[in-house]
Structure 1
Amino acid sequence: MNSKSVIIIIIAIAIIFGGSTIWQVLADEDKPGNTANNNNIKDKGLPQSLDQYYTETAYPGMPFEYLLEMYKLGESMMGIPVNLGQGDLQNAGNSFEEFSECYEYSSKMVPEWQKYYNQKAVDELGRALADGDQDAIGEAMEEVGETCSDCHLDTLTPVYYKYYWGDFRDVMIETPDGPIPWKDAKMYYLLMGFDGIGVNINEGDQDGAQESFELFDSMFDNMTDACLECHDSEPRYYVSEDIQGMIDTMGVLIDAGNLEEANGLRYGIGDSCHRCHIVHMPPQYAKVDGE
């Protein structure tokens, strides 16, 4: 297979699996231990059969069971063009066999989602690989990938909402009248103070503006305290220097032949990718869905 064909396939898979990072990451900091039983947010019709794969993990930071299977599925699929691009036909076949097994297994995990799976296209991919037909390989990969992409567009955002995002209705904020839910605290105290500043300034009322400011200032502090109950780690960007440091170290380890240690760093790097997806992919998918 020529390099151009391999690049096209890799790009296609990257787009397809962009919503479910290929790396088997560990998301341990700031992760709201949400499970099927402790998040009341509307799930938009997610099947109940999915709940069993989003229970508490064996130890903090482990990916949920369903997510872990998606990582295995994506990485094994990516192994096919990676091996082909490096001229390793034997391992390309091995990657396909692993992918085929993962595909069949995951197709049975959530019966309601079997419609997204196309076993015929997977079989065609196997035949194309056996024949070394690069055009057929590309066509089969694209056909398999389309169902993956359709599933992500339909289900990924609701999954994030239900199993990863906390519910602001459960957040309590301290107010002059005691702790009350976030929604009420924001409306009757935080906004009352913030907007009151502008109202009184426009009216030329300095004393009123001072009173409104003091309410807003105290409520802002109370809001910060409530945020820290969940966000208790140092704020970081998804491409911060510590992540770049991991990437640099991984390169050094690979160059030195320490492959297992280098592979371990992928977890930390992938953790950053996954956090970015949880925050940014729901609005992006909403944008695509609305076009």
Structure 2
Amino acid sequence: MRKFLLGLAVLSFSFGGEITLKKPPESLKKYYPPASEKFEFLNNMHTMSTAFYAVQLNINDENWEKAKEWAQKLVKTYRETAEMVPEWKDYFDFSKADAYLNAVSSKNVDAVIKTARELGQTCAKCHRDNEVAVKIYYHFPDFHSVKVEDPIEFMEMDLGDFMKKLANSLKATNIYISQGEYEKAKEHGINFVERARAVKETCTKCHTKEAEVEAITGKEYDQALKALENLFNAEKLDTQKVAQNMKKVTVTCYTCHNVHLIPAKIKEALAK
């Protein structure tokens, strides 16, 4: 059965070269929140992936009866999935699905390898064209619904607008320090600290577990902000220590942006 294991190695999906992201078709919406909490389309993907591997396992165990049952389940789900999203009908090839089932039914290992590769390629093409866009569009949170109370202007605003004010406070602090205008730097520095603290409260709007928030905006983040607050309230501004603590805070910003910012921008572009 080693031959079968090697033959199915081609079913490992990967992405290479250029990726063009397209907005997912309208018919897919009904299978994801808020239209549905059941994730019917995604569940079908998992069902087919599991069935594909179950056929391999059972053939390796020489249990052809179970392998056929899983192959039947795979083909049935494959056909049902094609009907769910008519816009993607060209990705599906029922003749290849039937050939795969016939190969398993006939207990022909060579035929199973050949038809599995051909059927798997239809899945791989759809994944290459659509998987990234679908994951970002339907699985990534929508930050447009997040509102923030700005602690400086005492106004509720969109997260994007708040982040601009936070960034501008940081820029203004650095600009005035570089110009030697330390009183102005202190003023904007205090604004930055207060806004940076509000970021932690913003995280809790999506991250409901304390450990999740602490993993990024935790003890070191709080300590750096407290140190900055003391530095900006001191009579003489220690710019070297300001830079050291600012770096600790901005590393947190960088980490969060790596996780959230790019997918958010892609989702926004896909939604247009």
Q: TM-score, normalised by structure 2?
A: 0.68
Q: Does 1:228 align with 2:204?
A: yes
Residue 244 of structure 1 corresponds to none
Contact 1:124 1:140 in 2 (8 A): yes
Alpha carbons 1:172, 1:182 under 8 Å: kept? yes
- Per the alignment, residue 181 of structure 1 pairs with 158
State the match for 1:93 in structure 2.
68
Contact (CA 8 Å) 2:48, 2:77: kept in 1 or not? yes
> Does the 8 Å CA contact 1:121/1:143 hold for their aligned counterparts?
yes
Q: Is residue 12 of structure 1 aligned with residue 13 of structure 2? A: no
CA distance in structure 2 between the partners assigned to 1:73 and 1:46 by the alignment:
20
Give the 5 Å matches for 1:127-206.
127-175=102-150, 176-177=152-153, 178-187=155-164, 189-206=165-182
User: 1:240 matched to which residue of 2?
Assistant: none
- Map of 2:221 onto structure 1: none
Instruction: Supply the distance in 1 between the matched residues of 2:90 and 2:175 (Cα, whole angstroms).
Output: 56
- Residue pairs, 1:74-93, within 5 angstroms: 74-93=49-68
Higher relative contact order (CA 8 A, sep 6+): 1
Q: Which amino acid aligns with 1:194?
A: L
Identical counterparts, % of pairs: 24
CA–CA distance in structure 2, aligned partners of residues 131 and 44 of structure 1? 40
Answer with 1 or 2: which has the greater Rg: 2
Q: Are the aligned partners of 1:80 and 1:96 in contact in 2 as well (CA < 8 Å)? A: yes
**Secondary structure in 1 matching 2:84:** coil
Q: How does 1:114-129 map to 2 (within 5 A)?
A: 114-129=89-104
Q: Is the contact made by 1:13 and 1:78 (CA closer than 8 Å) also made in structure 2?
A: no
Give 2:160's aligned amino acid: K
For each residue in 1:188-222, what CA deviation from the matched residue of structure 2 results, as whole angstroms up to 9, or x when unmatched?
A: x2011111222122112222222121111111111
Distance in structure 1 (CA, Å) of the matches to 2:115 and 2:93 = 10
Name the structure 2 match of 1:52. Answer: 30
What amino acid does structure 1 have at the position aligned with 2:114?
E
**Corresponding position of 1:107:** 82
Matched-pair contact (CA < 8 Å) for 2:24–2:134: yes
Aligned partner letter, 1:191: A
- What letter corresponds to residue 89 of structure 2 in structure 1? Q
Alpha-carbon spacing, 1:57–1:191, altered in 2? closer, same or farther (3 Å): closer
Change (3 A) 1:157 1:182: same
Q: Distance in 2 between matches of 1:223 and 1:55?
A: 26
SS at match of 1:179: strand
Gapped regions of structure 2 (runs ≥ 5): 15-20, 214-258, 267-272
Change (3 A) 1:55 1:195: closer
- Which deviations, in whole Å up to 9, do the C-alpha atoms of 1:120-142 show, x marking residues without a partner? 11122123223333232222111
Give the match for residue 242 of structure 2: none
The number of aligned residues is 209
Q: Pick from 186, 189, 192: which aligns with 1:213?
A: 189
48-57 vs 140-149, which deviates more?
48-57
Corresponding residue number in structure 2 for 1:271: none
